[in-house]
Amino acid sequence: MSSSVPAFVSPDEMEVLFSAEQIAQRVAALGEEISHEYAGKSVVLIGVLKGAAIFLADLARAIKVDNTFDFVAVSSYGRARVSSGAVKLIKDIDNPIEGRHVIIVEDILDTGLTLSYLRGLMLQHKPASLKIATCLDKPERRLVPIEADYSCFKIPNRFVIGYGMDYAERYRGIPEIRLYPENPPGH
């Protein structure tokens, strides 16, 4: 194993921050809120790959109004645990959103750099409305003034994995959200 690849830590060794049941309840509530707000309208969910894919899938099913989805991919972390601060667009949306009601769906809002960048990018496409939904909100880490319109949970300034969120591409499929150890082995 390369020294740049972190050692695997068993998820069973990590504290559960939110159970699969807690996540499902909050996503269902968020879906109801969005459905109420967009009653009689159609909405486009734009998921931020890869971390938001699972949250977007669950949220799309919880929203009871007509909805479609698309994806963007950006990079600000690479293989690191801390954002580099520079956001790079890797994949733009495939379909036009001009005149559409759009919700950017992200796994976690921490520094705000990625979502601020994406908000600016999506506004260039002239949507009818643009909002942000995030599974997790980590306000202690905010570097730019941006808030989510919809959020499942506020969390402390700790690194988390599971429910789509990873550490070096691992742990995305864990159904709950867990706290990654403060000092991972090998670091």
Give CA–CA dist 24/3, Å, rounded.
Answer: 37
Specify the pTM: 0.90
In a domain, 15, yes or no: no
- 3-state SS, residue 107: strand
What's the confidence (pLDDT) of residue 86? 79
| Domain hosting residue 157, numbered range | 22-77+93-179
Residue 10 lies in a domain: no
CATH number of the domain residue 173 falls in: 3.40.50.2020
Residue with tokens 């909050």: 26
CA angle in degrees (0–180, nearest 5) for 127-129-135: 110
Examine residue 66 and state whether it is found in any structural domain, yes or no: yes
Q: How many domains does the chain have?
A: 1
Whether residue 138 is contained in a domain is answered as yes
Alpha helices in 15-112 (DSSP H): 20-37, 53-62
The answer to whether residue 130 sits within a structural domain is yes
Residue range 108-165, pLDDT digits in tens: 999 999 999 999 999 999 999 999 999 999 999 999 999 999 999 999 999 999 999 9
In a domain, 104, yes or no: yes
66 catalytic residue (yes or no): no
Q: Which of 58, 110, 137, 166 is catalytic?
A: 110
Judge whether 9 lies within some domain: no
Report the alpha-carbon distance of residue 45 to residue 54 in Å, rounded. 13
Could you tell me if residue 7 is inside a domain?
no
